[in-house]
Amino acid sequence: MQPISKSNWIEGKVLEHKNWTDSLASIKIAARVNPYISGQFTRIALEINNEIISRPYSYVSAPSDNFLEIVYVKIPDGKLTPKLSELKSGDNILVNNNAFGYFVMSEIPKGDNLWLLATGTGSGVFISLLKTDAPWNRFKKVILIHGVRNKEELTYLDQIAKFKNKYPQKFHYIKSVTREKIDGCLNTRIPNAIENGIFETTTKIKISKTSQFMICGNPDMIKETINNLKNKGLEINRRSNPGNITIEKYW
């Protein structure tokens, strides 16, 4: 049980529940929550056996959207997601009134190019960020890299195509599928591609101390990628000591 007062919960309605695969889904929700900033997360909860079970989820939606959206993986023995996956349009869902976190553009120092690296559900938060003007106004190039195991996990391709249409020169989107060879996709883990320079040769954009990286997803990927970026002279971004690498860990 989470020690969160009931007054923080807003009862929302499920507008749409989309299954991308058997274990990957996204939910659009109508709920009148306090304003949030792209890059932040909320907490989603259900009452299960008389307990409020809640977990944090990054917003995929942006403040300009007239719905809230999250994307999640169904964890077979998880406490929340198996019940979450049973929800249908019109069902009730609890959303925290407030949003949290500092994985937001205002925390990212100046730089030439913005690299957004995600595995799995980690790409959702970047969809939210890219729906806002800040990344496009602030950086010369924006590179979104999404690593997944199977091609069905390449979510939000329609939305990503809209970004490409709007910013054809500025935006690069790289898909990497590790468990199958797919035309138009790399077949490599993100840390390895940083180490051997594949992303740089694919985009013709050099990683340097003027690059900014935001990384979200699998903790092992994050750890190894940080090490490989440090080997290229980049530093973790801290408020007390600004750097190039800003991360969001999901577990």
Ligand X SMILES: Cc1cc2nc3c(=O)[nH]c(=O)nc-3n(C[C@H](O)[C@H](O)[C@H](O)COP(=O)(O)OP(=O)(O)OC[C@H]3O[C@@H](n4cnc5c(N)ncnc54)[C@H](O)[C@@H]3O)c2cc1C
> Using CB under 6 A as the criterion, what x/- string covers residues 100-119 for binding ligand X?
-x------------------
How big is the site for ligand X, counted in residues (CB under 6 A)? 21
Interface residue with ligand X among 124, 135, 147, 191 (CB under 6 A) is 124
155: nearest Cα among 128, 189, 192: 128
Interface residue with ligand X among 17, 27, 39, 41 (CB under 6 A) is 41
Residue 121 as a binder of ligand X (CB under 6 A): the answer is yes
CA distance 97 to 99: 7
- Choices 29-37, 66-74, 193-201, 230-238 (CB under 6 A): range interacting with ligand X: 66-74
Contacts 24+ apart (CB under 8 A), 51-55: 51/1, 52/1, 52/2, 52/4, 52/6, 52/9, 52/94, 53/1, 53/2, 53/79, 53/80, 53/83, 54/2, 54/4, 54/80, 54/94, 54/96, 55/79, 55/80, 55/81
Angle (nearest 5°) at CA 79 between 66 and 70: 20
Residue nearest to ligand X (CB): 78
Q: Is the dihedral of CA 136, 215, 80, 46 positive or negative?
A: negative
> Using CB under 6 A as the criterion, what x/- string covers residues 70-89 for binding ligand X?
xxxx-x--xxxx--------
Residue 9 as a binder of ligand X (CB under 6 A): the answer is no
Q: Tell me whether residue 15 or residue 73 sits nearer to ligand X (CB atom).
A: 73
Q: Tell me whether residue 59 or residue 199 sits nearer to ligand X (CB atom).
A: 59
- Choices 12-20, 25-33, 67-75, 235-243 (CB under 6 A): range interacting with ligand X: 67-75
Residue 56 as a binder of ligand X (CB under 6 A): the answer is yes
Residue 58 as a binder of ligand X (CB under 6 A): the answer is yes
Residue 149 as a binder of ligand X (CB under 6 A): the answer is no
CA distance 9 to 12: 9
| Structure tokens that stand for 65 in this block | 């959207």
Asked whether 154 and 183 are in contact (CB, 8 A), the reply is no
For residue 144, the cross-strand partners are 116, 173
Q: Tell me whether residue 75 or residue 182 sits nearer to ligand X (CB atom).
A: 75
* Site residues, ligand X (CB under 6 A): 41, 55-58, 70-73, 75, 78-81, 101, 120-121, 124, 248, 250-251
